[in-house]
Structure 1
């Protein structure tokens, strides 16, 4: 009966891992699975609990960090700052003037509100422009392309 309880615990922890996606519950599930295998030998319940604690510590402290490094590649995670858009080319989607921010441009696949950098400049739909700076949520553009 004790091995069955550990198998059920392993299954519940593995299902819980699907909700959390942090590998902690998965490691505890593996520890419960190891404990179920050891419990089949008929050792006392207190010994199975000790096996679970040792297996849980081993998997959480040794296996989980290695697994996270392998699965979650930190090089893919990059911080984005709007300053990175400065100097990029953009396409005008909605006419841009220097007097308001109702114009829109597509920069790097994203749509930004825009205004012209120099007074009197106006860019029509389809014009290619360059981002001079980012002012809040508005791209300041000019005909630098």
Structure 2
């Protein structure tokens, strides 16, 4: 290793790149690329301090320039909606007549208590309805 310091740099780069496969946050891969730059410097005969400086400059540059673009591309997108919020806007089928006070619907394969969004409306069984909101354990619906 004394004759080939680049091997130590390359080994550290491989370890960082492998750790990135677990973390998936694009930080360790930027550090790994910086360390590979340090390995190239060491292979070219640069002293340790200059190889370290090359590694730091490359890592910081990649973290500042490349990582934000990668994060935006791979981690961006719509937020995952779960729970009751995922049911809003969905369709259901009326099982028992739905009024402003009571009723049941089949929503996402489950039976839910329901009430009509319009207080003067009666929705007959078999009617397709859209979920306007979830109020506690009750789906507030209106005809589709």
What TM-score results when the alignment is normalised by the length of structure 2? Answer: 0.71
Unaligned segments of structure 1, at least 5 residues: none
Q: Deviations over 1:21-55 (max 9, x none)?
A: 11111100111111111110122112211111111
Q: Which residue of 1 aligns with 2:78?
A: 77
Residue 93 of structure 1: how far off its partner (Å): 7.8
- Pairing of 1:14-93 with structure 2 (within 5 A): 14-72=17-75, 74=76, 76-78=77-79, 80=81, 82=85, 85=88, 88=89, 90-92=91-93
Q: Which residue of 1 aligns with 2:107?
A: 105
Unaligned segments of structure 2, at least 5 residues: none
Pick which of 63-72 and 35-44 moved more.
63-72
Give aligned pairs, total: 136
Q: Is the 8 A contact 2:113 2:139 kept in 1?
A: yes
Cα 1:6–1:137 change in 2 (3 A) is farther
SS of structure 1 residue aligned to 2:107:
strand
Matched, 1:6 2:9: yes
Q: Which residue of 2 aligns with 1:139?
A: 139
How far apart, CA to CA, are the structure 1 residues paired with 2:36 and 2:113? 58
Cα 1:69–1:130 change in 2 (3 A) is closer
Q: Which residue of 1 aligns with 2:113?
A: 114
| CA RMSD after TM alignment | 3.5
Q: Is the 8 A contact 2:115 2:138 kept in 1?
A: no
How far apart, CA to CA, are the structure 2 residues paired with 1:29 and 1:54? 12
Q: Is the 8 A contact 2:94 2:129 kept in 1?
A: no
SS of structure 1 residue aligned to 2:21:
helix
SS of structure 2 residue aligned to 1:116:
strand
